[in-house]
């Protein structure tokens, strides 16, 4: 038995045993096998079998196992075993892909060799039996050893079948740190325009996996001809000289250095999505805003706003959720803004952009400063002071929204203020005083301050 046998979970082994005992071939397939071989965490287990879908159903019924047939048209039956869902797909040969995404029809086969031919990349085309033995008909084990992403068979055919495989290949490279095989990458570039015919949501899923992966910057740098189909402005950033003493990199290289500066979470192995997207887009508007002074010095005034507009256009086209688009927009618009480090100024700034956004923004700004030339890195001291002021506010349990003050509109009305706009105006005035350090967030102190406001301002009197 192989060393991998102990990595097969019990619920998965049950399905393999059922099918094998019924006289069919059955294997763990795809990403689970790849990740086992690479020693990576395994997220899910899929099974492939020589049993046709109806035969799979009969095996599961005979074993008293519940199953779902939502994907049976494409050969997939989902078994419900010990609280887990296990997708079981029959060996198959795909028909034509007229939509560049899914086969128009499939033909089921008993041949594992035929099934292998339809898979995308060699590292995903390995099979593992219930004894942990790997069947590798395409050289996936060798490609893992060489750290190469290579298409199964003819890469042009693979991408003609399913153009999304192009983005999947880039994502795999970014997640694994592997290089993309030369012939495979040439085919990716030849077929890049086909990505325009793929659904926006599916492109977004792959882009998320790419930009948040540890080796994202390397893959983005090498694949601008592909990614510019989705984000045209990226191509102009490559090689764009900023002509500034604050920068010693072109716009693209600066951007990738900022992306590298966004920390990768130790548990998930990924970067924060909104931060990663903000890093990718934060300076993308610079070429459009660029102008030279008579002395030949480059300026890009207004680039945060233009970059945010470009990012929002792309993310809208890709149908990103509104909350992600909003977070990315704020991060980009404010990435070049540094309030004076007095506590009240920092407090008001955090109130303006939101507490969570402030935490992300400081990370983005730190990465941005580090990616500048020495002259541009001088702002690091100012950022440290701003962050220190923010931490001091946290220690004080500061609040960042008027609704979190320990005083309500009813308290204001009880003081004799007429219900209506005046109540909200007074609460905002109290909040400003709190931010300026004139009062604390104490109910009694806030009510006393409100009473003083009522007495000195006729607008608050009935």
Give the HSE-up count for residue 285: Cα atoms under 13 Å, Cβ half-sphere: 20
pTM of the model: 0.92
Q: What is the pLDDT at residue 43?
A: 81
CB 12 within 8 A of CB 47: yes
Residue 97 pLDDT greater than 60, yes or no: no
Query: What's the rounded Cα separation, in Å, for the pair 193 and 226?
Result: 8
Name the nearest CA neighbour of 219 among 168, 288, 293.
Answer: 168
How many whole angstroms separate alpha carbon 352 and alpha carbon 120? 47
Condensed to tens digits (0 to 9), the pLDDT of residues 376-394 reads: 999 999 999 999 999 999 9
Q: Tell me what percent of the residues of the chain surpass a pLDDT of 90.
A: 89
Least confident of 105-114, 263-272, 341-350: 105-114
Give one word for 415, left, alpha or beta, with left for phi > 0 and alpha for psi -120 to 50. alpha
In the predicted model, what is the mean pLDDT of the chain?
94
Torsions phi, psi for 35 (to 5 deg):
-70, -35
Q: Determine the average pLDDT of the residues in 18-26.
A: 96
Q: CA 344 → CA 286, 358, 366, 386, 445, distances in Å?
A: 32, 15, 21, 11, 19
How much is the pLDDT for 422?
Answer: 87
């Amino acid at each position: 038995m192989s060393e991998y046998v102990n990595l097969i979970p019990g619920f998965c082994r049950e399905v393999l045993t059922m099918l094998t005992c019924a006289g069919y071939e059955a294997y763990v397939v795809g990403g689970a096998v790849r990740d086992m071989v690479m020693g990576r965490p395994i997220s899910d287990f899929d099974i492939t079998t020589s049993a046709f879908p109806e035969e799979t159903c009969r095996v599961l019924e005979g074993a008293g196992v519940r199953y779902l047939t939502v994907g049976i048209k494409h050969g997939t039956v989902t078994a419900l075993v010990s609280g887990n869902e296990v997708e079981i797909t029959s060996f198959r040969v795909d028909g034509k892909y007229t939509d560049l995404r899914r086969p128009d029809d499939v033909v089921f086969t008993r041949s594992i060799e035929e099934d292998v031919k339809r898979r995308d990349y060699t590292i995903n085309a390995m099979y593992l039996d219930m004894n942990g033995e790997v069947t590798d008909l395409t050289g996936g084990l060798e490609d893992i050893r060489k750290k190469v992403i290579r298409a199964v068979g003819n890469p042009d055919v693979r991408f003609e079948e399913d153009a999304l495989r192009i983005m999947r290949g880039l994502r795999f490279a970014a997640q694994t740190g592997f290089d993309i095989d030369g012939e495979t990458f040439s085919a990716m570039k030849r077929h890049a325009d086909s990505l325009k015919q793929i659904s926006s949501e599916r492109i977004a899923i792959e882009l998320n996996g790419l930009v948040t992966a540890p080796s994202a910057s390397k893959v983005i740098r090498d694949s601008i001809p592909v990614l510019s189909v989705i984000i045209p402005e990226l191509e102009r950033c490559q090689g764009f000289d900023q002509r500034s003493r604050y920068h010693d990199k072109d716009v693209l290289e600066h951007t990738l250095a900022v992306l590298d500066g966004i920390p990768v979470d130790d548990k998930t192995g990924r970067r924060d999505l909104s931060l990663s997207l903000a890093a990718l887009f934060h300076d993308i508007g610079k070429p459009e805003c660029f102008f030279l002074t008579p002395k030949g010095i480059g300026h890009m005034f207004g680039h945060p706003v233009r970059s945010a507009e470009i990012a929002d256009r792309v993310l809208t086209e890709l149908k990103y959720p509104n909350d992600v688009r909003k977070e990315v927009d704020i991060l980009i618009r404010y990435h070049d803004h540094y309030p004076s480090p007095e506590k009240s100024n920092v407090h008001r700034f955090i109130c303006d952009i939101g507490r969570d956004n402030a935490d992300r923004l400081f990370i983005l700004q730190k990465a941005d400063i580090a990616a500048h030339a020495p002259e541009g890195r001088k702002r690091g001291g100012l950022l440290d002071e701003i962050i220190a002021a923010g931490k001091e506010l946290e220690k004080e349990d500061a609040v960042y929204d008027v609704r979190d003050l320990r005083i309500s509109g009813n308290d204001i009305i009880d003081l004799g203020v007429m219900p209506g706009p005046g109540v909200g105006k007074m609460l905002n005035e109290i909040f400003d005083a709190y931010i300026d350090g004139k009062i604390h967030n104490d109910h009694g102190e806030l009510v006393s301050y409100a009473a003083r406001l009522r007495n000195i301002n006729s607008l608050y009197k009935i």
